Structure formats: C-alpha cells, structure tokens
Chain A
Amino acid sequence: MSDWLIMLKTVIFPEFINTIFITVGTLILSIPLGLATGISLTITSEDGISSNYYLNLLLNKANNFLRSIPILILIILFIPFTRVVFGKAYGVLAAVLPLSAAAGAFFARLVEVNLREIKPGLIELGKALGLSKTQIVWEILMKESLPGISGSVTTCVISIIASSTVAGAVGAGGLGAIALSYGYQSFNYSILYTVVFIIVVMVQCVQYFGDKIRNFL
C-alpha cells in the first residue's frame, strides 16, 4: 500500500469526519439561534408586527459587532468562555461555540433579508383575519419564506465549512488543520491537494443538494 493510501486512511479520513462533526454541530446550534434572531430583527423593526425600537437597536448592533470580527479572532476571543463550558479550548467540540456565534449572526441577516421580501399585503391580510402575532410568524412569515430560507441554509453550511477550516489553524482539528500542518508546515503537496479536492467536492455537493431541496420546496 502506498504512503498516500495510508495517509488517506489514517489522517485524512478521521479529520474529514471531524469536519463533518464540526459542521453539523455548528448547524444544530446556529440555525435555531439565527432563525430566532432574524425573526426578532424583522418583527421588532420600525414597520414590523411588534416594533420595539430599543430591542431592534440592540439586536442590530450586537449582530453587526459579531459579524465585523474576523472568525479567526472571534475563535481566539472565545477561548476563555469555551474553557469554562467544555474544560478545554482545543478540539472539535471547542470549535463549535465560536463558529455557532459567527454562523448564527450571519444566518440571522440572511433570514432577515428573506423575511423582508414577503409582500406587506400578506401580513396585513393576516392581521385582518385576526391571526395572533405567533400565528403570523409561523403561518405567513415562515411558510412564505421557506424556499428562500432553505437557500440561506445552504449558504450558511458553505460558510461554516469555510470557517471550520480556519478553526483548524487555532487547534480545532478537521481538514483545515491537515491542510495547514501537512501542506504548509511540512510541504506535503499530495496531502494538501487531496484535502483541497475533498473540500471542493464537499462544497459542490452541499450546493447541489441545497439547490435541489430549494427547488423542491
């Protein structure tokens, strides 16, 4: 068996699983978080169904602040916090927290854009029919924007894959860490380009199936 095959089996495959693990873990945390924030941003806005100036301002500022910190620095900033929660600041699990914060903030903006595209007439109709605010959110906002939001989930997954590779640079493991340690630190180009190839395929698969699901909805 050649070196490359051994490396594929012993190094690349376990880290591929780690990348999947980070991505799925981050998705589980960030999608509900981002959805809730996105909905709150929309309904508390000036022309929203329960407008609240201060809450909206707070959410907007917090979101902008989170999104203007580069992910690499956000991960480093989260280290003390991660250490309190998980007892350590490296490894797969530790990466999930800062990545979720970043992905949640990003997803919230995407959700907000989707919700803004809903015709105001529909919400007026809901109000005229006597629907409660909760019903308007679930029956009108969510149902109408479902295809758009599913497209946003795809975008979000791709951005999480990208940020998980960055997390590899500060101790998270995953394919990014492999690319750095084998490609950059020991100049093993066959490992590096194998990792590049796997990530290209991963991203294209996510995009392909994301588009399929969106069209289905």
Chain B
Amino acid sequence: MGNDSILKITTDLLLPALGETLIMVFISTIISTVLSFGMAIILIYSYEDGLKPNHTVYQIVNGFCNIFKSLPFIIVALAVIPFTKLIIGTSTGYKAAIVPLVIISTPYLAKMIETAFLEVSTGLVEAAKSMGIKNRDIILGVYINESLSGNLLNVATIMIWLVEASAVAAAIGAGGLGAVAITYGYRLSNPKIIFLAVIVLVVLVETIQWIANRAYYHVKP
C-alpha cells in the first residue's frame, strides 16, 4: 500500500476510513445531543433557582456529569467494554465505538448546554413565569429558543472533540482514520499515508467549524 500512488491510497484506504469516522462522529453527535439536552433540562429544572428546585436530583446529575466529563476517553472506553458487548454484541469495530463516545460526550455537552441555558436572561424567564406559561413551554420557548445559537457552537465543539476521540478509539479496535494512522503511521512507519490522513482530518475539522460558524451567524438573533 505504501508505494502506491496518492490517488490509490485515497480511494482504497482513506475514503473508507473517513466514512467510518464520519459514521462514528455523526451518530454519536446525534445521540449525545438528544441525551445531553435531556440532562441539561433536568439540571435547569432542579437547580436551586430553577423551575422545580430539587437538591438531590441536581446533585446526582451534576456529580455524574462532573466525574465523567473529566475522565480520559480511553479509560472510559475500556471500562465500559462489558456494557458495549451487552448492547452491540461486540466491543470492536466502529459501531461498538459509538457506545463509549456517547457515554463520554454526553456529560460534557450537557454541562455546556446548561451553561448556555444559564446565560438566558432571568428576566425573560421571570416574565414567562408571571404570564402563567407552563414549565414545559418555558423550557421549549424560552431556554431552548434563546440559547439556540450558543448551543449550535457547543454541538460543533463536541463534534470536533468526537473526531479526536474517535481517533483514540482506534487504539481499542474501532477503525476509522485513527486506525489508518496507527497501522500505517505507527506500526509500519509510512510517512506518506499518515500525512494524507492528517490532511483529511484537518480538512474535516475545519469544515465542521466553518459550517458551524456559518450556521451561527444565520440563527444568531
């Protein structure tokens, strides 16, 4: 493979790997966005000045987020292998990597969404409350609506971070561009392939950031 032309390396090796990376990153982003919105809503409901203050619930969810968001990805991925096997049936391959990727990115994103929620002006929330608007509608109409542009950038940040984590996941058999880098760059020391893989990754990250920035200015009030 190492002596082949750049075109052949790209079509036979890098594009399929890019496909796997994209699947891992996109599916993990979608699942973790849904889950972390749920967690952030629980946090915003239950914190002490929230819509329905509940100290215990807040402490449990908050503690869970704080512990998980600061753990190294590879450690979490290894620790949840039994769980991954239970859900997916195997612990290798790009599909299996989605489980630890979701587990580690959800608490991280949930805390970022919570911060965006807290930046929504309290006056607006108070006004909605005094108009007798139901809590559910305050969440949808005020919190989520007002923080949309900020959360868009948060999701982009988590997506870029998932590109990075999915490369690490290759160390435990996940496939994707990280696996190409480990196999051809580290084990076979092939500089050409690893430089091409780096170019693909940098372009991928820049593209995600570019789309997110465009969308941000589009939805920004």
Residues of A within 8 A of B (CB): 64-65, 68-73, 76-77, 79-80, 158, 161-163, 165-166, 168-170, 176, 179-180, 183-184, 189, 192-193, 195-196, 199-200, 203-204, 207
Contacts and interface: CB of A to CB of B under 8 A. Distances in A.
Nearest to B79: A196
B67 A72 contact: no
Contacts of B177: 73
Interface in B77-133: 78-79, 81-82
B181 interface: yes
A105 to B, nearest CB: 13
Interface of B: 66-67, 70-75, 78-79, 81-82, 160, 163-165, 167-168, 170-172, 177-178, 181-182, 185-186, 189, 191, 194, 197-198, 201-202, 205-206
Contacts of A79: 185-186, 189
B189 A68 contact: no
> Main SS of the interface on chain A?
helix
A165 B75 contact: yes
Which of B78, B198, B205 lies at the interface centre, i.e. has the most chain A CB atoms within 10 A of its CB? B78
Contact of A73 (B72, B165, B181): B181
Contacts of A199: 71-72, 75
Contacts of B182: 72, 76, 169-170
A75 to B, nearest CB: 8
Contact of A180 (B74, B82, B165, B206): B74
B168 A70 contact: yes
A70 B163 contact: yes
A69 B72 contact: no
Given A165-B72, A169-B74, A195-B75, A70 B172 contact: no
B167 A73 contact: yes
Nearest to B167: A70
A26 B168 CA distance: 19
A192 B67 CA distance: 18
B90 to A, nearest CB: 13
A43 B24 CA distance: 39
A203 B68 CA distance: 10
A203 B70 CA distance: 7
Contacts of A183: 78-79, 81
10 contacts: A68-B160, A76-B182, A161-B72, A165-B75, A176-B74, A180-B74, A199-B71, A200-B67, A203-B71, A207-B66
Given A68-B201, A76-B182, A204-B67, A169 B168 contact: yes
Contacts of A72: 167-168, 170-171, 178, 181-182
A82 to B, nearest CB: 12
A73 B185 CA distance: 8
Nearest to A169: B171
Contacts of A184: 78, 81, 172
A65 B74 CA distance: 23
A72 to B, nearest CB: 5
Nearest to A187: B81
Contacts of A80: 191
A52 to B, nearest CB: 24
A77 B72 contact: no
Nearest to A192: B78
A200 B172 contact: no
